[in-house]
């Protein structure tokens, strides 16, 4: 497994590259009128420059400023999780998480300054620049009606890869700590706590020793005059 330092470098490098590529592509499309409406593959793919005030896929359930705050909090949580799990994670996981973070940061940057550039609001009011549009239709049904950007592409690739190859990419669970069991004190056996009774011969010898000691004490006592 790669070292922790190497994994952090790869994670950071991928996130930075994705952010730069995303912002560059948006700048080029935004500042080039000819790219605002451009057919790439007839009937399949075209550039369709739009400004998305909502979430991914054009979802607009919340105000733009609130979506911006939620996006920043979510990105911060993801970065914190990656740093927390970096030692158990493999290099592939760190690379794909770098793609997700880079894409998220690219869209957050749009929300921070695009409103100021466009003159329609302040920080957090910015609309995300989208321009990639699949036009494929089956009958009257559009296969993928949403317009997206390069950041969304990287995020989608990373999520799909983690879902398909999760067994190989997702970090393993932390090892369970085994509780050290303190040995229970051994109970004394019944035999160990019983007093050993002396034999008859030993009792006889003890009595003789006591009598001799008493006789010796009598002999050593001085006679009174």
Q: Which of 127, 3, 8 is nearest to 68 (CA)?
A: 127
Q: Which of 94, 125, 95 is nearest to 108 (CA)?
A: 125
Q: How far apart are CA 171 and CA 16, in angstroms?
A: 23
Catalytic residue among 22, 110, 125, 152: 152
Q: Per DSSP, which regions of 59-127 are E strands?
A: none
Q: Which of 71, 74, 75 is nearest to 126 (CA)?
A: 71
Catalytic residue among 22, 110, 130, 201: 130
Q: Is 152 a catalytic residue?
A: yes
Helix, strand or coil, per DSSP, at residue 129 = strand
Q: How far apart are CA 81 and CA 107, in angstroms?
A: 20
Residue 80 phi/psi, 5-degree rounding, is -60, -40
3-state secondary structure 20-78: HHHHHHHHHHHHCHHHCEEEEECCCEEEEEEEECCCHHHCCCCCHHHHHHHHHHHHHHH
Q: How far apart are CA 149 and CA 109, in angstroms?
A: 13
Q: Which residues are annotated as catalytic?
A: 130, 152
């Amino acid at each position: 497994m790669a070292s922790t330092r190497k994994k952090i470098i790869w994670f950071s490098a991928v996130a930075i590259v994705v952010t730069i590529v995303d912002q560059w592509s948006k700048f080029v499309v935004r500042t080039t009128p000819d790219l605002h409406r451009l057919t790439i593959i007839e009937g399949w793919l075209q550039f369709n420059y739009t400004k998305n005030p909502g979430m991914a896929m054009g979802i607009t359930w919340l105000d733009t400023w609130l979506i911006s705050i939620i996006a920043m909090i979510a990105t911060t949580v993801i970065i914190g999780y990656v740093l927390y799990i970096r030692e158990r994670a493999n290099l592939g996981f760190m690379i794909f998480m770098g793609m997700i973070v880079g894409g998220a940061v690219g869209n957050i940057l749009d929300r921070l300054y695009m409103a100021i550039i466009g003159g329609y609001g302040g920080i957090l009011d910015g609309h995300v620049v989208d321009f990639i549009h699949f036009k494929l239709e089956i009958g009257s049904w559009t296969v993928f009606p949403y317009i997206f950007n390069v950041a969304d592409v990287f995020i989608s690739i990373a999520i799909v890869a983690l879902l398909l190859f999760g067994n190989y990419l997702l970090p393993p669970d932390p090892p369970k700590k085994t509780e050290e069991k303190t040995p229970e004190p051994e109970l004394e056996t019944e035999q160990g706590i019983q007093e050993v009774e002396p034999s008859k011969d030993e009792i006889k010898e003890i009595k003789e020793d006591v009598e001799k000691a008493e006789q010796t004490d009598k002999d050593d006592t001085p006679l009174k005059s």
